[in-house]
């Protein structure tokens, strides 16, 4: 499908900068794979960090502390989803701007996203600190874990701005075609967090013994250090998204840019909330089946976090590539990018699923003893449901492409229908015939409904007619002139 040529009046910068990858030229398959693998590495590091921290807390502080961190992490995921969509919307704007070689437009979109997300995360962090006790009571946090969860959660809320800025900067860099820099700085964050956890929990060396607050403080510290180091790196290497001098005024969100980021970001954030709500509802159904089934399901979820990573990485890579090519008017490449993404998902996610099923008992046995009643239950869940992540990956690719052109409501509706009327409906409705297996079969059936809906929307939906672009600098001239003095820096503070 043809698309209007990029506006020649837009500012273009043809120079190449460190970290910038032009995703609009060259071979599609090899470029996509080279972009996706570092993103996959970042995802693996992030999950390993959570697992390592859980080990530290569980070993040093006991089950009550581990339960406290689990309750707090559920809340933080919901809070994260509330502002994550803004970052994704900004990434779309950045990617399309780079496709048009409009580096100034990309910087303006990135600056507005920094101002918007920083303000939102500060507000959410402050409210979270104040209302943390009420939130934990609403979750019916066990009495033995309540005080520990409160301490942990409040420190995590204090670190929310730094964590959100780090994620936003990662997403912005990927929008420019740079997936390698986020990998290095994710590694830095993980090393700091995992290394500081035992030091601050136990009070090793000159550090005070902080208990569970030490684990949260390690996460806060690693986020602040990593985001400051990344901001310095972007500035020193003069990467495309660097803001300096008069460009620092871009951090004051422009009205039209903010409207675009919010209108696209809210539906994306709502998708995360839909996934979270469906997950919590499924946990409620599983909890009714007894402690062994709950434990088996919990172990399976640990493994599923890793199985889905190739799909998420390929989906992110496809979205970045599609955004740049749409911005450049290269619609002839968009369909080929989609095809390459579907193929790589089949290979990579299929390999992850195959390994999981081939070494089912050995992998799951790392979390529970070989004689645990939960182990055969977890093996059974895996055998019935894990293959559905291949279908999930297909959905991530198709949704990544349509979102790259600013179409966000279609994916939200499709996701909601597949999660609630279909997945949860089948989990409850089929129990008289299938018993407990109805819950596990609902996962691949829901994924099948999701990918079918995504394929139909990709083929017949109006997403190609969507328009998302950074307004010209002239439209914001009045605001820019009134904000001649820089009021912030690229390095966010908490």
- Do 455 and 400 sit in the same domain of this protein? yes
- The pLDDT confidence band at residue 281, using thresholds 50, 70 and 90, is confident
Q: What's the half-sphere exposure (Cβ side, CA atoms, 13 Å) at 420?
A: 12
Q: What's the half-sphere exposure (Cβ side, CA atoms, 13 Å) at 493?
A: 3
Quick check: is 371 in a domain? yes
Outline where 100-208 has alpha helix (H): 103-138, 143-158, 160-175, 180-202
Average pLDDT on 148-152 reads 84
Q: How many domains does the chain have?
A: 2
Cα–Cα distances in Å, from 254 out to 136, 326, 381?
A: 37, 23, 49
- Do 44 and 162 sit in the same domain of this protein? yes
- The pLDDT confidence band at residue 291, using thresholds 50, 70 and 90, is confident
- Do 256 and 318 sit in the same domain of this protein? no
Dist. CA 56–CA 194, nearest whole Å: 9
Instruction: Report residue 101: phi and psi, to 5°.
Output: 60, 30
- pLDDT score of 392 more than 90: yes
- Yes or no: say if 196 and 218 are a contact pair by the CB < 8 Å rule: yes
Q: Which of 162, 438, 189, 163 is nearest to 293 (CA)?
A: 438
- Do 461 and 474 sit in the same domain of this protein? no
Longest CA–CA separation in the chain, Å: 71
Residue 61 belongs to domain spanning: 38-261+469-494
Dist. CA 364–CA 374, nearest whole Å: 10
Please state, as a whole number, how many other Cβ atoms lie within 10 Å of the Cβ of residue 90: 28
| Both structure tokens of 233 | 């790196």
Quick check: is 1 in a domain? no
Dist. CA 280–CA 170, nearest whole Å: 28
Instruction: Report residue 467: phi and psi, to 5°.
Output: -135, 125
- Do 398 and 459 sit in the same domain of this protein? yes
Quick check: is 337 in a domain? yes
| Both structure tokens of 340 | 């390459």
- The pLDDT confidence band at residue 374, using thresholds 50, 70 and 90, is confident
- Do 308 and 376 sit in the same domain of this protein? yes
- pLDDT score of 17 more than 60: no
Average the pLDDT over each of 160-174, 294-308, 326-340, 357-371 and give the range with the smallest value: 357-371
- The pLDDT confidence band at residue 82, using thresholds 50, 70 and 90, is low
- pLDDT score of 237 more than 70: yes
Quick check: is 278 in a domain? no
Digit-coded pLDDT (tens) for 307-345: 999 999 999 999 999 999 999 999 999 999 999 999 999
Average pLDDT on 140-156 reads 80
DSSP-assigned letters across all residues of 64-90: HHHHHHHHHHHHHHHHHHHHHHHHHHH
Please state, as a whole number, how many other Cβ atoms lie within 10 Å of the Cβ of residue 22: 15
State residue 153's pLDDT score.
Answer: 84
- Do 458 and 474 sit in the same domain of this protein? no
- Yes or no: say if 109 and 470 are a contact pair by the CB < 8 Å rule: yes
State residue 368's pLDDT score.
Answer: 64
Is the backbone of residue 244 left (phi > 0), alpha (psi -120 to 50) or beta? beta
Q: What angle do CA 97, 122, 279 make, to 5 degrees?
A: 80
- Do 322 and 203 sit in the same domain of this protein? no
- Do 299 and 386 sit in the same domain of this protein? yes
Quick check: is 346 in a domain? yes
Quick check: is 15 in a domain? no
State residue 473's pLDDT score.
Answer: 58
- Yes or no: say if 294 and 287 are a contact pair by the CB < 8 Å rule: yes
| Both structure tokens of 337 | 């990018």
pTM here is 0.83
Digit-coded pLDDT (tens) for 462-490: 999 877 767 665 544 433 333 333 332 22
How much is the mean pLDDT over the chain?
84
Element counts in the chain: helices (H) and strands (E): 19, 0
- Do 450 and 478 sit in the same domain of this protein? no
Q: Which of 422, 421, 429, 411 is nearest to 448 (CA)?
A: 422
- The pLDDT confidence band at residue 284, using thresholds 50, 70 and 90, is confident
Quick check: is 279 in a domain? no
- Do 414 and 479 sit in the same domain of this protein? no
- The pLDDT confidence band at residue 80, using thresholds 50, 70 and 90, is confident
Residue 255: strand, helix, or coil: helix
Dist. CA 335–CA 72, nearest whole Å: 42
Digit-coded pLDDT (tens) for 451-466: 999 999 999 999 998 7
Dist. CA 402–CA 394, nearest whole Å: 13
| Both structure tokens of 89 | 């919307």
Q: How does DSSP classify residue 250?
A: G
> Cα-Cα-Cα-Cα dihedral of 395, 380, 364, 49, to 10°?
30
| Both structure tokens of 243 | 């803001």
- Do 185 and 90 sit in the same domain of this protein? yes
Dist. CA 85–CA 83, nearest whole Å: 5
Q: Which of 320, 282, 322, 328 is nearest to 304 (CA)?
A: 282
Quick check: is 5 in a domain? no
Dist. CA 383–CA 381, nearest whole Å: 6
Cα–Cα distances in Å, from 473 out to 107, 109, 452?
A: 11, 11, 41
């Amino acid at each position: 499908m043809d698309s209007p040529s990029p506006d020649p009046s837009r500012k273009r910068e043809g120079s190449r900068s460190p970290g910038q990858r032009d995703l609009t030229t060259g071979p599609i398959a090899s470029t996509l794979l080279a972009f996706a693998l570092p993103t996959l590495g970042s995802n693996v590091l992030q999950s390993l960090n959570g697992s390592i921290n859980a080990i530290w807390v569980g070993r040093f502080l006991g089950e009550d502390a581990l339960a406290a961190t689990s309750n707090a992490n559920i809340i933080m995921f919901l809070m994260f989803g509330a502002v994550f969509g803004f970052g994704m919307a900004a990434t779309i704007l950045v990617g399309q701007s780079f496709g048009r070689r409009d580096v100034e437009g990309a910087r303006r979109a990135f600056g507005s996203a920094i101002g918007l997300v920083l303000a939102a995360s500060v507000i959410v962090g402050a409210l979270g600190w104040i209302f943390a006790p009420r939130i934990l009571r609403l979750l019916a946090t066990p009495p033995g874990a309540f005080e520990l969860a409160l301490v942990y959660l409040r420190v995590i809320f204090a670190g929310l701005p730094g964590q959100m800025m780090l994620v936003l900067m990662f997403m912005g860099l990927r929008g420019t075609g740079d997936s390698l820099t986020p990998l290095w700085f994710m590694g830095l964050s993980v090393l700091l967090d995992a290394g500081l956890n035992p030091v601050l929990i136990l009070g090793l060396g000159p550090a005070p013994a902080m208990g569970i607050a030490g684990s949260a403080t390690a996460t806060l510290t690693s986020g602040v250090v990593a985001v400051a180091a990344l901001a310095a790196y972007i500035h020193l290497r003069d990467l495309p998204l660097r803001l300096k001098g008069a460009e620092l005024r871009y951090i004051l969100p422009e009205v039209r840019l903010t409207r675009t980021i919010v209108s696209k970001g809210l539906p994306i954030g709502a998708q995360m909330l839909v996934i979270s709500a469906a997950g919590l509802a499924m946990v409620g159904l599983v909890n009714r089946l007894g402690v062994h089934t709950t434990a088996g399901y919990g172990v399976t979820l640990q493994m599923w976090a890793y199985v889905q990573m190739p799909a998420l990485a390929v989906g992110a890579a496809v979205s970045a590539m599609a955004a740049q090519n749409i911005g450049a008017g290269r619609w002839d490449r968009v369909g080929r990018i989609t095809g390459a993404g579907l193929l790589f998902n089949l290979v990579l996610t299929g390999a992850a699923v195959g390994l999981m099923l081939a070494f089912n008992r050995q992998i799951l046995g790392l979390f529970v003893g070989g004689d645990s009643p939960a182990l055969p239950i977890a093996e059974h869940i895996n055998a019935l449901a894990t293959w559905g992540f291949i279908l999930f990956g297909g959905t991530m690719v198709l949704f990544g492409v349509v979102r790259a052109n600013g179409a966000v409501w279609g994916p939200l509706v499709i996701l909601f229908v597949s999660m609630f009327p279909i997945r949860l409906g089948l989990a409850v409705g089929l129990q008289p015939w299938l018993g407990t297996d109805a819950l596990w079969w609902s996962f691949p059936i829901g994924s099948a409904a999701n990918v079918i809906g995504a394929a139909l929307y990709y083929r017949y939906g109006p997403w190609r007619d969507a328009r998302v672009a950074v307004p010209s600098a002239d439209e914001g001239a009045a605001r820019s002139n009134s904000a001649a003095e820089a009021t912030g820096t690229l390095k966010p503070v908490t």
